[in-house]
Chain A
Amino acid sequence: MTEPAVADRSAGERVPAIEAVDVSRTYQLDGVSVAALRGVSLTVQPGDYLALVGPSGSGKSTLMHLLGGLDRPTGGRLVIGGRDVNALAPPEMATLRNETIGFVFQAFHLLPRTSAVENVALPLVYRGVSARQRRERAAAMLGRVGLGHRLDHRPNQMSGGEQQRVAIARALVTEPTVLLADEPTGNLDSVTGAAVLELLEQLNAESGVALVMVTHDQEVAARAHRRITMRDGVVVADSADPSSAHDRPPSVDHGRPATLVSAPSAEPRSASGSGPGHPSGGSGGAAGATGRLPHDGGTA
Chain B
Amino acid sequence: MRVAEAWRVALDALRANRLRSALTMLGVIIGVASVVLLVAIGTGTKQKVEQQVEGLGSNLLLVVPGRIEVGNAPVVSPLTLKDVDAVTRVVGDPDRVAVTVASGATARAGARSDFTTVQGVLETTPAVFTRSLARGRYLTGTDVDTSRRVAVLGDSVARALFPDRDPLGQQVALAGVRFRVIGVFAPLGQSLGVDRDDEVHVPVTAAQRLWGTQRVDGIAVKAPDRERIDELGERIVAELNRRHPDTEFSAVTQQQILGVLGDILGVLTGVLAAIAGISLLVGGVGVSNIMLVSVRERTREIGLRKAVGARPRDIGVQFLLEAVLLTTIGGLTGMALGVGTAMLVDALSPIPAAITWWSLALAFGVSAVVGIVFGVVPAQRAGRLDPVVALRTE
Q: Which residues of A contact B (CB under 8 A)?
A: 65, 68, 70-71, 90-91, 94-95, 97-99, 103, 105, 109, 111, 113, 122-123, 125-131, 170, 174
Q: A65-B388, A70-B387, A111-B301 are in contact. Are A125 and B2 (CB under 8 A)?
A: yes
Q: Which residues of B contact A (CB under 8 A)?
A: 1-2, 4-5, 12, 16, 300-301, 303-314, 386-388, 391
Q: Are B309 and A127 in contact (CB under 8 A)?
A: yes
* A128 / chain B contacts, CB cutoff of 8 Å: 1-2
* B305 / chain A contacts, CB cutoff of 8 Å: 122, 126
Given contacts A91-B313, A98-B309, A125-B2, 4 further A-B contacts (CB under 8 A): A97-B306, A99-B309, A109-B300, A174-B309
CB distance from B336 to the nearest CB of A (A): 29
Chain A residue, CB-CB nearest to B303: A109
A131 to B306, CA, bound (A): 20
Chain A residue, CB-CB nearest to B389: A71
A170 to B5, CA, bound (A): 17
A111 to B303, CA, bound (A): 11
Q: Are B300 and A126 in contact (CB under 8 A)?
A: no
Closest 7 CB pairs of A and B: A98-B309, A126-B309, A123-B308, A91-B311, A94-B311, A125-B5, A109-B304
* A70 / chain B contacts, CB cutoff of 8 Å: 306-307, 387-388, 391
Q: Are B388 and A130 in contact (CB under 8 A)?
A: no
Total CB contacts across the A-B interface at under 8 A? 67
Residue B16 contacts which of A97, A103, A113 (CB distance < 8 angstroms)?
Answer: A113
Q: A109-B304, A113-B12, A125-B5 are in contact. Are A71 and B388 (CB under 8 A)?
A: yes
Residue A125 contacts which of B1, B16, B386, B388 (CB distance < 8 angstroms)?
Answer: B1
A288 to B334, CA, bound (A): 66
Chain A residue, CB-CB nearest to B304: A109
CB distance from A139 to the nearest CB of B (A): 18
Q: Are A90 and B2 in contact (CB under 8 A)?
A: no
Q: Are B313 and A103 in contact (CB under 8 A)?
A: no
Q: Are B1 and A109 in contact (CB under 8 A)?
A: no
A125 to B9, CA, bound (A): 12
Q: Are B308 and A98 in contact (CB under 8 A)?
A: yes
Q: Are A123 and B309 in contact (CB under 8 A)?
A: yes
A95 to B309, CA, bound (A): 6
Q: A126-B314, A129-B1, A130-B1 are in contact. Are A109 and B391 (CB under 8 A)?
A: yes
- Sample (27) of A-B pairs whose CB atoms are under 8 Å apart: A65-B388, A70-B387, A70-B388, A70-B391, A71-B387, A90-B311, A91-B312, A94-B306, A94-B314, A95-B309, A95-B311, A97-B308, A97-B309, A98-B308, A98-B309, A99-B309, A103-B308, A111-B301, A113-B16, A122-B304, A126-B305, A126-B309, A126-B310, A126-B311, A127-B309, A128-B1, A170-B308
A91 to B387, CA, bound (A): 12
A96 to B363, CA, bound (A): 43
* B312 / chain A contacts, CB cutoff of 8 Å: 90-91, 94
Residue B391 contacts which of A91, A105, A123 (CB distance < 8 angstroms)?
Answer: A105
* A126 / chain B contacts, CB cutoff of 8 Å: 2, 305, 308-311, 314
A170 to B300, CA, bound (A): 16
Q: Are B307 and A68 in contact (CB under 8 A)?
A: yes
* B301 / chain A contacts, CB cutoff of 8 Å: 111
Q: Are B308 and A122 in contact (CB under 8 A)?
A: yes
A99 to B308, CA, bound (A): 9
* B300 / chain A contacts, CB cutoff of 8 Å: 109
Chain A residue, CB-CB nearest to B300: A109
* A125 / chain B contacts, CB cutoff of 8 Å: 1-2, 5
* B314 / chain A contacts, CB cutoff of 8 Å: 94, 126
A256 to B139, CA, bound (A): 117
CB distance from B252 to the nearest CB of A (A): 67
Q: Are B311 and A103 in contact (CB under 8 A)?
A: no
A174 to B310, CA, bound (A): 13
* B304 / chain A contacts, CB cutoff of 8 Å: 109, 111, 122
A222 to B300, CA, bound (A): 33
* A130 / chain B contacts, CB cutoff of 8 Å: 1
Residue B307 contacts which of A95, A103, A113 (CB distance < 8 angstroms)?
Answer: A103
Chain B residue, CB-CB nearest to A98: B309
Chain B residue, CB-CB nearest to A113: B16
Chain B residue, CB-CB nearest to A99: B309
CB distance from B66 to the nearest CB of A (A): 74
Which among A95, A98, A126 has the highest number of chain B CB atoms within 10 Å? A126
* B310 / chain A contacts, CB cutoff of 8 Å: 94, 126
Q: Are B309 and A94 in contact (CB under 8 A)?
A: yes
CB distance from B352 to the nearest CB of A (A): 49
* A109 / chain B contacts, CB cutoff of 8 Å: 300, 303-304, 307, 391
A113 to B386, CA, bound (A): 24
A125 to B8, CA, bound (A): 12
A68 to B308, CA, bound (A): 10
Q: Are A97 and B2 in contact (CB under 8 A)?
A: no
CB distance from A94 to the nearest CB of B (A): 4
Chain B residue, CB-CB nearest to A134: B1
* B388 / chain A contacts, CB cutoff of 8 Å: 65, 70-71
Which among B2, B4, B5, B308 has the highest number of chain A CB atoms within 10 Å? B308
CB distance from A188 to the nearest CB of B (A): 19
* A103 / chain B contacts, CB cutoff of 8 Å: 307-308
A65 to B305, CA, bound (A): 15
A262 to B211, CA, bound (A): 118
Chain A residue, CB-CB nearest to B6: A125
Which among A94, A95, A98 has the highest number of chain B CB atoms within 10 Å? A94
* A129 / chain B contacts, CB cutoff of 8 Å: 1
A105 to B303, CA, bound (A): 12
Chain A residue, CB-CB nearest to B15: A113
A109 to B392, CA, bound (A): 10
CB distance from B211 to the nearest CB of A (A): 84
* A122 / chain B contacts, CB cutoff of 8 Å: 304-305, 308
A94 to B384, CA, bound (A): 12
A70 to B314, CA, bound (A): 16
CB distance from B169 to the nearest CB of A (A): 83
A217 to B2, CA, bound (A): 40
CB distance from B234 to the nearest CB of A (A): 72
A94 to B12, CA, bound (A): 24
CB distance from B280 to the nearest CB of A (A): 31
